[in-house]
């Protein structure tokens, strides 16, 4: 998926997108680490540049089946000591550097380099535009880098259409029914302003929301060790969500669209470069915005409280269990905690909590500023509200 203009359409037939850039430099003039010029997809490559020093051509191809393939061919007067590709999502600061196998030096100085990466292994889902450049060191110590190129890393297994709703770009199958498309778009249009109002913040930049028909289709976008129970995967820092909404399961529209959009808005409100809000706040608030899919939560939480298996607030702060039943209970417990917070302190507590967590405080410090209580006290009061006795065994000391 790539950012397109409003009303743009994806019509991918399954083939990789190819861009070729002509790269040129003089060895007497050091090139910058990353050149500012970039070739956009679809822009004709500049004429090939040649001189007595170096001449080279780069290309990049991306497909779900083969990953992203980078290549560089040309000539150089000195053997290559090291070579790598550095790439990152456009608009992001984290750079991934991958070394390439060195070519065999030819008598005429010609060389050919190639490298294949799977961005999923670096936590990068399809639906991004990747910026990339080659970096070489020659045997004489000269260092240079290529001009910056761009390649679309999208799920080309399917044909996609894009419908823009404010800051959200809904990516939906080109063959989907107009009724289903209208339902999804209407839910985005309904719930996004409500989420932004309650959180007191707006998501910046486009949110690219990819809608898959089946769980198997979503699984193909994930790494091998991904939890088997996920129905959606959001990357708020990248502005991407991948969600499964089967054509026959309209109930998922009211569950997944509010839930995942809330993650994006809260990320911009409550996340700093050095900290992120606890999961009981992030997942609990996302669940609280759902219009479907929470009916079983109260009974699930009450039963766990009666059996002594209800996780405490501290246990809900970081990661969720891998097992399906335990994960369902964790989601239900987070929803219950946030329901208690909102019923006790009102919706005004949400932007206070978001701002406090964004200020690089510990969880306890952030809660004391926003609510006047720490995590352990919240755990005790929440259990009293549920009618459970005592506090959880995993409560903070």
86/203 same-domain check? no
End position of a domain, from candidates 211, 242, 270:
270
CA distance 332 to 349: 20
pLDDT score of 300: 96
Task: Give the DSSP H/E element, type plus range, for residue 97.
Answer: strand 96-99
Contact 134, 111 (CB under 8 A): no
CA distance 16 to 67: 10
User: Taking the chain, what is the end-to-end CA distance rounded to the nearest angstrom?
Assistant: 46
CA distance 238 to 130: 11
Half-sphere exposure of 11 (CA within 13 A, CB side): 3
In DSSP notation, 294-315 reads -TTHHHHHHHHHHHT-PPPTGG
21/122 same-domain check? yes
Q: How many domains are contained in the chain?
A: 3
282/224 same-domain check? no
325/357 same-domain check? yes
287/331 same-domain check? yes
260/302 same-domain check? no
Angle in degrees, CA 44, 46, 49, rounded to 5: 155
pLDDT score of 77: 85
139/165 same-domain check? no
End position of a domain, from candidates 153, 172, 187:
153
283/397 same-domain check? yes
End position of a domain, from candidates 153, 182, 207:
153
312/193 same-domain check? no
Contact 301, 334 (CB under 8 A): no
pLDDT score of 55: 79
pLDDT score of 54: 66
Give me the CATH number covering residue 70.
Answer: 2.60.40.10
Q: Which of 94, 92, 72 is nearest to 84 (CA)?
A: 72
Angle (deg, nearest 10), helices 279-289 and 324-345 = 80
Domain range enclosing 195: 1-11+156-270
pLDDT score of 83: 95
Contact 386, 339 (CB under 8 A): no
- Return the SS3 of 342: helix
User: Each residue's pLDDT tens digit in the chain (397 positions)?
Assistant: 333 222 332 333 333 333 333 233 333 333 333 333 333 334 444 333 233 466 789 999 999 999 999 999 999 988 899 999 999 999 888 999 999 999 887 888 899 999 999 999 998 999 999 999 999 999 888 888 899 999 999 999 999 999 999 999 999 999 888 999 999 999 999 999 999 999 999 987 789 999 999 999 998 898 877 777 789 999 999 999 999 999 988 899 999 999 999 999 999 999 888 889 999 999 999 999 999 999 999 999 999 999 999 999 999 998 888 888 999 999 999 999 999 999 999 999 999 999 999 998 999 999 999 999 999 999 999 999 998 755 554 544 3
**Helix %, strand %, coil % for the chain, to 5?**
30, 25, 45
pLDDT score of 391: 55
Q: Provide the whole-model pTM.
A: 0.81
What residues contact residue 180 under an 8 Å CB cut-off, 6+ apart? 172, 247, 250
- Return the SS3 of 344: helix
Between β-strands 96-99 and 143-145, what pairing exists: parallel, antiparallel or unpaired?
A: unpaired
280/382 same-domain check? yes
238/182 same-domain check? yes
Q: Which of 300, 308, 267, 277 is nearest to 392 (CA)?
A: 308
Give me the CATH number covering residue 232.
Answer: 3.40.30.160
What residues contact residue 46 under an 8 Å CB cut-off, 6+ apart? 21, 22
CA distance 230 to 324: 9
Number of Cβ within a 10 Å radius of residue 225 = 7
210/254 same-domain check? yes
């Amino acid at each position: 998926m790539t950012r397109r203009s409003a009303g743009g359409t994806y019509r991918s037939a399954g083939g990789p997108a190819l861009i070729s850039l002509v790269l040129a430099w003089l060895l007497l003039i050091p090139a910058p680490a990353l050149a500012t010029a970039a070739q956009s997809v679809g822009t004709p490559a500049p004429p090939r540049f040649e001189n007595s020093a170096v001449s080279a051509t780069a290309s990049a191809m991306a497909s779900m089946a083969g990953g992203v393939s980078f290549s560089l061919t040309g000539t150089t007067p000195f053997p290559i000591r090291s070579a790598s590709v550095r790439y990152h999502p456009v608009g992001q600061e984290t750079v991934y550097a991958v070394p390439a196998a060195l070519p065999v030096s030819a008598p005429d100085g010609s060389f050919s380099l190639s490298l294949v990466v799977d961005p999923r292994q670096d936590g990068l889902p399809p639906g991004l535009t990747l910026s990339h450049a080659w970096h070489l060191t020659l045997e004489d110590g000269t260092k240079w880098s290529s001009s910056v190129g761009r390649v679309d890393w999208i799920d080309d297994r399917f044909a996609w259409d894009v419908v823009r709703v404010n800051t959200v770009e809904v990516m939906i199958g080109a063959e989907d029914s107009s009724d289903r498309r209208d339902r999804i778009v209407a839910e985005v249009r309904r719930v996004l302003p409500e989420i932004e109002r309650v959180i007191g913040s707006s998501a910046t930049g486009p949110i690219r929301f990819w809608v898959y028909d089946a769980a198997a289709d979503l699984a193909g976008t994930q790494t091998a060790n991904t939890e088997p129970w996920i129905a959606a995967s959001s990357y708020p820092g990248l502005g991407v969500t991948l969600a499964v909404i089967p054509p026959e399961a309209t109930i998922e529209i009211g569950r997944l669209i509010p839930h995942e959009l809330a993650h994006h808005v809260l990320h911009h409100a409550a996340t700093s470069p050095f900290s992120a809000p606890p999961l009981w706040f992030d997942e609990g608030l996302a669940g609280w915005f759902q219009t479907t899919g929470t009916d079983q939560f109260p009974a699930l939480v009450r039963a766990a409280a009666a059996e002594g298996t209800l996780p405490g607030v501290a246990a809900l702060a970081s990661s969720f269990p891998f097992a399906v039943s335990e994960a369902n209970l964790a989601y239900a417990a987070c929803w219950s905690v946030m329901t208690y917070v909102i019923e006790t302190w009102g919706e005004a507590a949400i932007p206070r909590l978001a701002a406090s967590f964004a200020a690089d405080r510990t969880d306890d410090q952030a809660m004391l500023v926003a609510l006047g209580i720490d995590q352990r006290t919240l755990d005790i009061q929440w259990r009293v509200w549920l009618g459970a006795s005592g506090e959880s065994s995993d409560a903070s000391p």
